[in-house]
C-alpha cells in the first residue's frame, strides 16, 4: 500500500515540515517565556510585602498643638502630613491629578501596558534605565514599599505590587492612599497638608488654578516649587491645565483663564513661630512622657491653655518695648556685614526669612545697596528702602551707618503683593525681654514670651532664667507682717540704719538717697522704700519671710540673708508670676499649667489636667495686700498704669546698676509678669527702672488682654485695728551684695 504522501509534490511536503518545525519552535519559546516569567514572578513575589497590611495602614502624621479655642499654635512631625479622606479632595483636584499623572487611572488594573511598552522602547533607544509610565497605583506602591532606584528589578516589583493593590482596594481608596502619601516639597506630604501650606486653606476649597499647581508637584516637588521656582511652577501648571482640557474636564474658556492667572500663594506661617518658647516647653514634656516617635509620628492632639490673640499681643508688646528701649539709648552700630565674611549678596539667606513676615513684626534685613540718601534692603522675597528721615532717631547720616552687606534690624510697616515693603530702622543690641500671663482662677498660661528671637536663642527667659527680682520681692515681706496681724496703716521709721553682721557693718539706703521719717506700711510699699522693708524683715526674721515666699510657690534657692528682702535672690519669671496670682485669688495658689488634654490619633484621651490649688495665705491677708499693691499703681512707683481703664495692682522691681527691670502686676482676672535685661549681668543704662523699662510692656499687653472684657473689681479688704509698728534695730543680716529699688 502506497503512503498517502507518495503522490504529493515534494515542495508541499517540505512546506508542511517547515511549518511544523516553526510551530514547535514557537511552542518551545512560549514555554520558555512562561517558565522564565513564572520563575521571575516567583522570585519577585517572594520578596514583596503583603498589601493587605494597607487596610490598617496609617501614615506618619503631625502632632498638632491647639490653643484654648482649638486654633493651631504648633506642631511636631518628621513628615508634615494632614491625613484626609477621599471626599476631602475636591473633584477639580482629582481631575487635575489624574489628567497629568494617569489618564486611565479609573480603567486600568494597576499598570498601563502600552505606556510601559512605549516608555521601555524610548529608554532602550536612549540607552537609559526603565523609567516613566508609572500609574498612580505604581507610584503608591513605590512610595509605600520600595526604594526610589529605577532598576528593572524594582520596576517589576512595582508593577506586581500595583496589581495586588488594585485587587484588594477600590479606586477611591487607592487615590486617598496616594493623595495622603505623596511628597510635595518643603517638608510637606499629602495634598491636604500642601493646600494648607501653599494656600492657607483646606483642599476642599481649592480653585482650578490652585489644584492644577498642586497636581504638577509630584513630578518634581523641588524643581516645580512655586516658592523656589515660580516660573517653572507656572509652566508645569499650564501642562496640567492643557491635559485637563484634552480630557474634557474643563472648558476651553476655563483653560484660557487659568493659563493667564498669576501664581498667587498664601504661604502659611510656621505655627511654631507664634509661641515658640511655649511650644518648646510642650515638646520637652511630651517627649519625656510619650517618647520621641509618638510625638513626631503619632498624630497626637494636644489641647493647651494658650490664647492665640493674647500671644500675639504679648509678642508685639515685648518687641515694641525693646525697640523703644533701644531708641532711648541711641545708635550703637557694629552691624554684621556678610560681604566682609565672604558671602555673596545674591546668595545670602537669613534664618529669619524662613518664616513668613507679617506687618508689625521685626526682622533682620540685608542691605543690598547704600548711598548718601537712600539704602535698599531685602528680607526673603521682599525689598524695601530707607531714607534719611527713616533713620533720624539715630542722629547719624544714613551713609555713615549702613553699608552694602550689613545685616540690619527693621520693623515691618507694610507688605505689598508685588514684594515691595515699608520698614523702619531699629536696633538689636542684645537686650532681652520676657512676659508671662496667667489666668488667676485656673492657672492657665495664656501667653508666654521667652525672649526677643527664638531663632537666635532657644533659652527661655520666662521659665529658665534665674534673675535678681529687686523690689518685686518686697510683697513677701509685707505679706509676712500683715499675716501676723499688722495693718497697712501701721507705721515704720524710714531713717538711716546699720546692721551689724559677722562680715561687717551693713548700711543700706533708699533708691533716692532720702529718708521720709515715720510712714505707713502702705506708703512704704507704694514708694518702694528700702529701709522700712529691711526693718520689717529683720523684725519678723528673714527665714520667716523666706518660708512665706516658698509657700507662694518660690522654689529657687533663697539664702537666709537680710538683703534677700530687697530682692537680691534669683527667681524665675514663672515663679514670680504664679506667686503674685495668689493676691487677687484670695490667698489661693493655682499651679501654672500648659496642657488641658492630650488625645491620640483615634481621639482617645491620654491625659487630662485639672487645676491644682493650694491655700497659701488667709483671705484677709490677700485682700489687704491686693489693696496695698493697688496703691503702688494709684500713687506709687507704677503710677503710669493708673490711667488704665480697668483696676490693676502690682509692684516694680529694679536691681543694682539697672541690670534687671521687672513689673509684676494683676487685674481681678489675670496676672502678668514682665522682665527686661541682658543675658549677661550688664546694665540697661541709667534710670532704666522697672517702671521705665518693664511697666510699659505690661501696660501695652494688658490693654489688649482686657479689651472688651469685664475685668471685674478687687474685693475690698476687711476693716482692721490700727497698730503702730515698733522700730527695731537688731541686726539680722549678712552684707548686701546688691541694693534694689
Which residues are designated catalytic?
Answer: 101, 471
C-alpha cell at 575: 515663679
| CA proximity to 139, closest of 177, 187, 171 | 177
Strands (E), 52-107: 63-66, 72-76, 80-81
Cβ–Cβ < 8 Å for 283, 290? no
d(CA 279, CA 301): 13
Cβ of 538: how many Cβ atoms within 10 Å? 21
Instruction: Output phi, psi for 637, to 5 deg.
Output: -70, -15
For residues 317 and 55, what is the distance between their CA atoms, to the nearest angstrom?
Answer: 51
Which grid coordinates are listed for 80?
508634615
Q: What are phi and psi of 522, to 5 degrees?
A: -60, -50
- Quote the cell numbers at residue 705: 488682654
| DSSP type of residue 293 | H
Among all chains, which residue has been given the C-alpha cell 511655649? 278
- Quick check: 445 and 278 in contact, CB under 8 A? yes
> Of 553, 604, 542, 551, which Cα lies nearest the Cα of 575?
553
- Number of continuous H segments (helices) and E segments (strands) in the chain: 21, 25
- Reading the block at residue 676, the C-alpha cell is 527686661
Q: For the CA atoms of the chain, what is the radius of gyration?
A: 36
Side-chain-side CA neighbours of 113 within 13 Å: the count stands at 1
| Maximal CA-CA distance, the chain | 155
CA distance 77 to 85: 20
Q: Which residues of 8-26 are buried (b: 16+ CB within 10 A; e: fewer)?
A: eeeeeeeeeeeeeeeeeee
Exposed / middle / buried, residue 341 (Cβ in 10 Å: 0-12, 13-18, 19+) = exposed
Question: How far, in Å, CA of 108 to CA of 159, rounded?
Answer: 12
For residue 288, what are the β-bridge partners? none
Amino acid at each position: 500500500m502506497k503512503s498517502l504522501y507518495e503522490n504529493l509534490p515534494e515542495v508541499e511536503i517540505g512546506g508542511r515540515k517547515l511549518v511544523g518545525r516553526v510551530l514547535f519552535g514557537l511552542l518551545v519559546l512560549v514555554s520558555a517565556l512562561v517558565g522564565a516569567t513564572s520563575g521571575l514572578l516567583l522570585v519577585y513575589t517572594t520578596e514583596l510585602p503583603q498589601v493587605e497590611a494597607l487596610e490598617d495602614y496609617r501614615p506618619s502624621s503631625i502632632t498638632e498643638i491647639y490653643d484654648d479655642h482649638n486654633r493651631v499654635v504648633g506642631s511636631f512631625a518628621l513628615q508634615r502630613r494632614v491625613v484626609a479622606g477621599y471626599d476631602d479632595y475636591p473633584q477639580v483636584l482629582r481631575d487635575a491629578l489624574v489628567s497629568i499623572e494617569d489618564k486611565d487611572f479609573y480603567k486600568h488594573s494597576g499598570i498601563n501596558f502600552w505606556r510601559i511598552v512605549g516608555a521601555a522602547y524610548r529608554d532602550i533607544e536612549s540607552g537609559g534605565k526603565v523609567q516613566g509610565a508609572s500609574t498612580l497605583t505604581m507610584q503608591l506602591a513605590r512610595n509605600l514599599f520600595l526604594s526610589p532606584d529605577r532598576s528593572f528589578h524594582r520596576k517589576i516589583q512595582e508593577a506586581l505590587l500595583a496589581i495586588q493593590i488594585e485587587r484588594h482596594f477600590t479606586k477611591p481608596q487607592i487615590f486617598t492612599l496616594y493623595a495622603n502619601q505623596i511628597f510635595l516639597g518643603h517638608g510637606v506630604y499629602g495634598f491636604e497638608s500642601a493646600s494648607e501650606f501653599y494656600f492657607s486653606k483646606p483642599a476642599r476649597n481649592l480653585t482650578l488654578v490652585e489644584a492644577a499647581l498642586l497636581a504638577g508637584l509630584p513630578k518634581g516637588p523641588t524643581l516645580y516649587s512655586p516658592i523656589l521656582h515660580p516660573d517653572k511652577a507656572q509652566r508645569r501648571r499650564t501642562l496640567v491645565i492643557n491635559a485637563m482640557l484634552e480630557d474634557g474636564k474643563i472648558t476651553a474658556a476655563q483653560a484660557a483663564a487659568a493659563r493667564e492667572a498669576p501664581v498667587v500663594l498664601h504661604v502659611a506661617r510656621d505655627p511654631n513661630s507664634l509661641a515658640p518658647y511655649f511650644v518648646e516647653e510642650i515638646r520637652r514634656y511630651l517627649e519625656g512622657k510619650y517618647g520621641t516617635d509618638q510625638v513626631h509620628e503619632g498624630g497626637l492632639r494636644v489641647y493647651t491653655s494658650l490664647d492665640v490673640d493674647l500671644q500675639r499681643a504679648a509678642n508685639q508688646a515685648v518687641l515694641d518695648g525693646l525697640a523703644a528701649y533701644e531708641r532711648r539709648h541711641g545708635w550703637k552700630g557694629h552691624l554684621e556685614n556678610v560681604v566682609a565674611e565672604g558671602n555673596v549678596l545674591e546668595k545670602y539667606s537669613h534664618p529669619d526669612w524662613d518664616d513668613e513676615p507679617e506687618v508689625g513684626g521685626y526682622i533682620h534685613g540685608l542691605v543690598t545697596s547704600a548711598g548718601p540718601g537712600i539704602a535698599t534692603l531685602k528680607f526673603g522675597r521682599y525689598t524695601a528702602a530707607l531714607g534719611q528721615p527713616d533713620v533720624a532717631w539715630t542722629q547719624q547720616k544714613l551713609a555713615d551707618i549702613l553699608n552694602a552687606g550689613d545685616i540690619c534690624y527693621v520693623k515691618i510697616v507694610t507688605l505689598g503683593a508685588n514684594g515691595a515693603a515699608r520698614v523702619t530702622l531699629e536696633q538689636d543690641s542684645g537686650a532681652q525681654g520676657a512676659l508671662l500671663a496667667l489666668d488667676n482662677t485656673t492657672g492657665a498660661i495664656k501667653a508666654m514670651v521667652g525672649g526677643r528671637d527664638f531663632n537666635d536663642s532657644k533659652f527661655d527667659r520666662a521659665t529658665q532664667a534665674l534673675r535678681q527680682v529687686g523690689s518685686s520681692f518686697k510683697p513677701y515681706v509685707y505679706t509676712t507682717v500683715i499675716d501676723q496681724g499688722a495693718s497697712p496703716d501701721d507705721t515704720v521709721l524710714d531713717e538711716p540704719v546699720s546692721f551689724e553682721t559677722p562680715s561687717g557693718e551693713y548700711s543700706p539706703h533708699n533708691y533716692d538717697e532720702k529718708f521720709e521719717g515715720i510712714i505707713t506700711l502702705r506708703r512704704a510699699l507704694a514708694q518702694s522704700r528700702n529701709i522700712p522693708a529691711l526693718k520689717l524683715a529683720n523684725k519678723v526674721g528673714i527665714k520667716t519671710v523666706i518660708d512665706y515666699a516658698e509657700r507662694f510657690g518660690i522654689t529657687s534657692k533663697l539664702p537666709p540673708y537680710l538683703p534677700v528682702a530687697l530682692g537680691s535672690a534669683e527667681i524665675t519669671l514663672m515663679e514670680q508670676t504664679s506667686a503674685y496670682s495668689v493676691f487677687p485669688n484670695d490667698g489661693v495658689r493655682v499651679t501654672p499649667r500648659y496642657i488641658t488634654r492630650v488625645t491620640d490619633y483615634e481621639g482617645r484621651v491620654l491625659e487630662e489636667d485639672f487645676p491644682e490649688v493650694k491655700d497659701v495665705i488667709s483671705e484677709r491677708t490677700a485682700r489687704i495686700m491686693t489693696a496695698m499693691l493697688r496703691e503702688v499703681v494709684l500713687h506709687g512707683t507704677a503710677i503710669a498704669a493708673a490711667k488704665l481703664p480697668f483696676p490693676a495692682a502690682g509692684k516694680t522691681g529694679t536691681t543694682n546698676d539697672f541690670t534687671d527691670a521687672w513689673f509684676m502686676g494683676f487685674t481681678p482676672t489675670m496676672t502678668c509678669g514682665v522682665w527686661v535685661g541682658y543675658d549677661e549681668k550688664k546694665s540697661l543704662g541709667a534710670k532704666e527702672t522697672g517702671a521705665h523699662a518693664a511697666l510699659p510692656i505690661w501696660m501695652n499687653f494688658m490693654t489688649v488682654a482686657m479689651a472688651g472684657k469685664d475685668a471685674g473689681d478687687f474685693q475690698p479688704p476687711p476693716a482692721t485695728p490700727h497698730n503702730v509698728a515698733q522700730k527695731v534695730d537688731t541686726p539680722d543680716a549678712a552684707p548686701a551684695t546688691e541694693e534694689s529699688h
